[in-house]
Each structure stands twice: as C-alpha cells, then as structure tokens.
Amino acid sequence: MGKSLGIHLTGRIVTGVVEHQKPWSRLFHFPQDQEDTGSLLDTPLDRLIDLVREQALRAAGDCGPIDAVGLALPGIVRDGVVKDSPNLAQLKGARIAEKVHRALSEAGITAPVTVLNDADATATGVAAKHDRLDAFIRLWALGYGIGFGRYPYAPGIWEGGHCVVTLDSTENYCGCGGRGHLEGIMGHRAMRLRFLDMEPEEVFAQAKAGESRCKEFVRLWHRGLAAATANSIHMEGPGRFYFTGFNVRFLDMKLLQHYLQQMVTMSPLQNYTLEVVPMSDDLAVTGAAIAASQAAKT
C-alpha cells in the first residue's frame, strides 16, 4: 500500500497522511486552538461532514494518490454506520462511511473509507509506535469520555468505558445515562458534573493537599479503573495495557496496581503489564490510517 489518510473526529478534527505505518505529513487541526476540545460537539452532521472534507483535503495536499482513508470517532460503529455516540450525539444512526466517501470523492479523493472507534484507532497507533503490530494490546483512553481500545481488531462492542464498576444507584453521571459506569466516575464531563464547585485539576490537587472528599474520590477513580481492567483480564486474559489521553496526568500507577492486585488473584492471570503513553494526536490518526490500509488489503 502507498499513502493512507487518517482522520480523528471528536470535539476537534485532526488529519494527517501516513506511509509505511508512520506519519508522512504534519498534522492538521480544526479548530487550530488545541485547547478547544468541544466546539464541534453541537455542530450539525452535514456541517461536520463538510469540515471533515476540508481538513482531509488540507492534509492530502500534494502528497499524491491516497489509497485508503481511515476515520476514527467515539461510539459504536458497525459496517460504516454509527450505531450510537453519546459524546457526538448528532452522529447516531449516520451512514458515516458512505457520507464521507461521497464528500471526498466529489473533491477528488476516491479511496475507500474505513470507520472505526477512536480508542481502537489509538490502540493501533500505539501498537505501531511500539513495534507491536504482531501483538495483542489493550488501551484505556482517559479524556472527555473513557475509551477502551484493542488491537488487533476483533468483532465486539468493546465499550469498556460503559462497563459497570459500582452498584451504587446514585452513580449516574455517565453521558449515556447509565448508572454505575466507569465513564460516570472517570470521564472529564462526569467529574465536572460531580464537582460543580471545582475543575478536575482542582479536585486532584485538593486530594494531594488532604481534603477528605477529594481524597475519597481519587480512590474511587482508581478503583473504578482497576475494576474495569480486572474485568478485561478475567474475560480475555492478561497482557499489556496502555493508558493515554489528556487525563492520564491524574493516574497514580502505584495506586492502580495496588487495587488491581486485590482484584486479580489467580496466578495464571497475573502476568499483565501497565504502561502510560503520553497523549499525542498522531496516535489515533496513524492508527486510523493503518486500519484503513489493512482493511483495503482484505
């Protein structure tokens, strides 16, 4: 395969061209202000498609033929259709692969479009960056919501952010409306709803300063992630887990390990490793492009 185009659509759009499993071009961002992570959340679907086309054309530039296009976005995606996307609600039900392919074809990019969950794309990008495209890895993306990605792709829903980690009926902060979900504890949106008087950064800072309410929440935050990771280990076995996203800054790996050791006690399941990967926009873009390239070969 030659060059592939990767597109990451969340509260922002990031695009780039990938060749030989590495970025070929610089990344293009919309909006350009990288602190703006939510201005697209309420953008109508047709306008989103227009913006995706514009940013794809910027990235493609004069790089020559594009052989495959990968589009990564949050939510449940099946056969190019977004079944649900709580964090980009306007995408629900959209035949997004068809719409993006039509828009790009009209602009001269006729390559097939592959659509996948953005956490899966990030996992693919991490696998490529660590030269592990022949291995099985799992990834937690800690951001506005909570994404769970795996590589290589396998059929399944894999909405790990919505796994139930508590039976407390008052835990109802998840964006999907479900109770007891991991995202309802760890998601950035959920934390802001829980602490209306503090930003998440202040919550973790106050916990370090000894404030009891914040300390208890930080313990809950880590126990929730440990529980979700333990569930994955008990279902699919041990292995390598990566953690990334803009809120990975809050992760205390020793505390996570402490809780995980309490939850995974069978010796055949204890051969797991945990590793933090600094957040980088190129991971999902590269992963989306690689996934599209792989899909085009089949």
> What's the average model confidence in pLDDT over 144-152?
95
**At residue 25, does pLDDT exceed 90?**
no
> What's the average model confidence in pLDDT over 138-165?
94
> Bridge-partner residues for 22, per DSSP?
19
> What's the average model confidence in pLDDT over 128-155?
94
Fold: same for 3-117+280-297 and 124-276: yes
> What's the average model confidence in pLDDT over 197-208?
97
**At residue 76, does pLDDT exceed 80?**
yes
- CA of residue 247 relative to chain centroid, distance: 12
pLDDT score of 1: 60
When the pLDDT of each residue in the chain is averaged and rounded to a whole number, the result is 95
pLDDT tens digits along 159-172: 999 999 999 999 99
Q: How far apart are the first and last CA of the chain?
A: 12
CATH 3.90.650.10 fits 3-117+280-297, yes or no: no
Query: Does the predicted TM-score (pTM) go above 0.85?
Result: yes
Helices of type H across 86-236: 96-106, 118-129, 183-186, 188-194, 200-208, 212-236
**Where do the structural domains in the chain lie, given as residue ranges?**
3-117+280-297, 124-276
CATH superfamily of 124-276: ATPase, nucleotide binding domain (3.30.420.40)
Q: Could you write out the DSSP letters of every residue in 227-270?
A: HHHHHHHHHH---EEEEESTTGGG--HHHHHHHHHHH---GGG-
> What's the average model confidence in pLDDT over 37-56?
92
Considering the chain, what percentage of its residues have pLDDT values greater than 90? 87
pLDDT tens digits along 220-262: 999 999 999 999 999 999 999 999 999 999 999 999 999 999 9
> What's the average model confidence in pLDDT over 23-45?
87
